[in-house]
Amino acid sequence: MVRPKVYITRKIQDEAVARLSVTCDVSMWNEENIPVPREVLAENIREMDGLLCLLTDTIDEAILTNATKLKVISNYAVGTNNIDTAAATKRGIIVTNTPDVLTEATADLTFALLMVTARRIVESSDHLRKGEWKTWSPLLLTGMDVYGSTMGIIGLGRIGGALAKRAAGFGMKILYHNRSRKTEAERNLGITYVELETLLKESDFVCIMTPYTPETHNLIGAAELSLMKPTAVLINTARGGIVNEEALYHALKNRTIWAAGLDVFEKEPISASHKLLELPNVVMLPHIGSASINTRNKMAEIAVENMSRVLANQPPLYQVN
Ligand code: NAP
């Protein structure tokens, strides 16, 4: 029997590669920190039955033109905005992702980023390390209260719901906005549905948890930021393009909002000269939402399982299209 050919676009866990190699001929871009060049991907995809890719790989119409044998694109992420799903569907290619296993780790990171930003923890640590700490002072590095404040979650899906549970433990009032109403979650989590405008006006912490789609592109721009309280904090661990970075820069610089915590950016990776890095009131992380060892292992397992199932003519665990 002819074994299916699979291409993996980055060095992933050995165990995952070994599992896939039992049934498939696997080739891999064997680099940990360098994305596969587009021309290498375009060349390799010609012969492949399966592609296991990351959110750093743009799988668009042009790449798929070469993919004449491809049956499955298994994305090592829950978000699939890096893939032209419509173009894949048109070619009969199944797109899969890795939701659920990363929900709690991403909610943890989101809440951690919220606390770090609210209580100025990075600035405080830098202050100490630079030898600037002279004395305890009533006004030194004062931040925003987290306990008992109001959280507004935009996008109450898996991660948004997990974030709400954490917020409840901190005695927070929880507002949410979603394209569809989640009445069961309202009952179970004691959360309140509001229009986006109300959420922006009333929340102390605005947390973005939607996918990145044409509808959510620049969902938060200058007009939306101007509705937020001057004491409010914006947290984005979803995708960069949901927030207009230029508008955010001005809101933070002019202090029309108090601070922001970002794990994602319009164009990743950002350079050390990125404009937002000039500002003291923003905490920026290199897209590490799901980056716990266990979670990343599980994501690899699910990505491999999705791939193996489709290549064995079975339904994958998680199908996007
Ligand atoms: P999910 O369960 O699909 O939840 C997304 C929620 O957003 C759904 O409730 C959806 O509403 C809502 N939504 C979609 N479009 C909307 C719009 N235009 N306006 C308002 N709400 C909208 O996804 P998830 O597993 O929670 O993941 C959410 C996103 O987080 C992913 O797509 C990914 O981009 C991001 N993420 C980032 C990291 C990281 O490393 N920083 C890690 C994991 C995930 P419906 O219920 O109506 O569909």
- pLDDT tens for 203-218 read 999 999 999 999 999 9
DSSP 41: H
3-state secondary structure of 153: strand
pLDDT at 104: 98
76 in contact with ligand 1, CB cutoff 6 A: no
**Of these residues, 239, 296, 305, 309, which one is catalytic?**
239
pLDDT attached to residue 233: 99
Give me the sheet containing 282-284, strands edge to edge. Answer: 192-193, 173-177, 150-154, 205-208, 233-236, 259-262, 282-284
For residue 52, pLDDT over 90 is answered with: yes
CATH 3.40.50.720 range(s) for the chain read: 5-101+293-311, 103-284
Q: Given the CA of residue 211, which atom of ligand 1 is nearest to it?
A: 32
* SS3 assignment, position 258: coil
What are the tens digits of pLDDT across the range 121-174?
A: 999 999 999 999 999 999 999 999 999 999 999 999 999 999 999 999 999 999
How far is CA 11 from its chain centroid? 20
268 is catalytic: yes
pLDDT at 101: 98
Active site residue 305: no
- The predicted model gives 252-259 an average pLDDT of 98
Rounded to the nearest angstrom, the distance between the alpha carbon of 25 and the centre of ligand 1 is 34
Give the active site residue among 177, 287, 296, 309: 287
For ligand 1, is residue 292 a contact (CB within 6 Å)? no
Q: Could you give the C-alpha distances from 74 to 45, 95, 144, 238, in angstroms and in order? A: 13, 6, 41, 20
Q: What is the pLDDT of residues 185-244, one digit of tens each?
A: 999 999 999 999 999 999 999 999 999 999 999 999 999 999 999 999 999 999 999 999
Q: Does the pLDDT at position 1 exceed 90?
A: no
Looking at residues 68-83, what average pLDDT do you find? 98
Reply yes or no on whether 43 is catalytic. no
pLDDT for residue 180 is more than 90: yes
Q: Are 264 and 235 in contact (CB under 8 A)?
A: no
291-318 average pLDDT score:
98
Pocket residue to mutate for ligand 1, from 153, 159, 283, most atoms within 8 A of Cβ: 159
**Which residues of the chain form beta strands (DSSP E)?**
5-8, 25-28, 50-53, 72-75, 94-96, 150-154, 173-177, 192-193, 205-208, 233-236, 259-262, 282-284
Range 103-284 has CATH code 3.40.50.720: yes
CATH 3.40.50.720 fits 5-101+293-311, yes or no: yes
Mean pLDDT of the chain: 98
